[in-house]
Amino acid sequence: MTNERRVLVHPDKESLGASVAARFITKIIDVLEEQNYASVVVSGGSVSTLVLAAINASPARDSVDWSKVSIWWADERWVPSGDADRNDTQAGIDLLDHIGLLPENVHRFGAVGDFDDVEAAAAAYRADLLEHAQADDAAPRFDITLLGVGPDGHVASLFPDKAQIRQSEPTVLTIDDSPKSPPVRLTLSLPVINNSQRVWMILAGAEKASSLGLALAGAGADQVPVAGVKGRKRTVFFVDQDAAAEVPENLIASTY
């Protein structure tokens, strides 16, 4: 199946969040009409503050049967459970604490205090991924993965010029020298992210324009990790006008 990257440009950050939220709700409903469950990967930053919050605010939010939706995380900060730095803490505030998810369908990374060290937490998440994988895969084939992109082009906790961006195994990697605080993190590997049927990346602000332009112009994943992201069926960049400043015109789409 061919998979062209598409770029959808929105006038501003607010309309960007609302548009992704509306498309997400529609797509999850479509997925649940075809199968009995949907699996979603979320991350922190703009995904949570823009998209998850907009889903929660949508009048269509409760049209989704959330009891059939599983939530996974692309990455997490190695801090105690409930810490404000954790991605799952903010995701709970923005959306997850307000909908009818089943506790067993919320797959959080381990936290400081839950495991002896970060490697043990990574091993536990690998086992969870494997338990829910299809066929011979080592991880689920996620239906939608929502990723933010940093100004340096990083996705999840895969940073430029770090060894983790080049690792295909294991499915969950650890980082002890993140250029962003806190330094110790867990992250899905790039192949696991790319095992998603659809990857939607959300970028807002002029500081994201250079990395996005480089990624779409053929830069390598070592230099710009987002360049290595590609969903199995669909790869879409949802951006605001400022982040789109360096996007080639032929890649900008008016419809999804």
DSSP secondary structure letters along 125-157: HHHHHHHT--TT-SS---SEEEEE--TT--BTT
Contacts of 225 by beta carbon, 8 Å cutoff, 6+ apart? 153, 154, 155, 158, 159, 160, 165, 190
DSSP reduced 3-state for 32: helix
Confidence of residue 254 (pLDDT cuts 50, 70, 90): low
Q: How far apart are alpha carbons 190 and 202 in whole angstroms?
A: 17
CB-based contact 174:76 (threshold 8 Å): no
Tell me what pLDDT residue 90 has.
Answer: 96
The residue type of 15 is S
Q: Which residue has the higher pLDDT, 250 or 39?
A: 39
Q: Which residue has the higher pLDDT, 194 or 137?
A: 194
Query: pLDDT tens, 207-243?
Result: 999 999 999 998 999 999 999 999 999 999 999 999 9
Tell me what pLDDT residue 170 has.
Answer: 96
Q: What is the number of helices (H) and of strands (E) in the chain?
A: 7, 10
Structure tokens given for 193: 């992210």
Question: Strand 172-175 relative to strand 185-188: parallel, antiparallel, unpaired?
Answer: antiparallel
Contacts of 150 by beta carbon, 8 Å cutoff, 6+ apart? 45, 180, 208, 211
Asked whether the predicted pLDDT for residue 50 surpasses 90, the reply is yes
Q: Which residue has the higher pLDDT, 70 or 249?
A: 70
Query: pLDDT tens, 110-168?
Result: 999 999 999 999 999 999 999 999 888 899 999 999 999 999 999 999 999 999 999 99
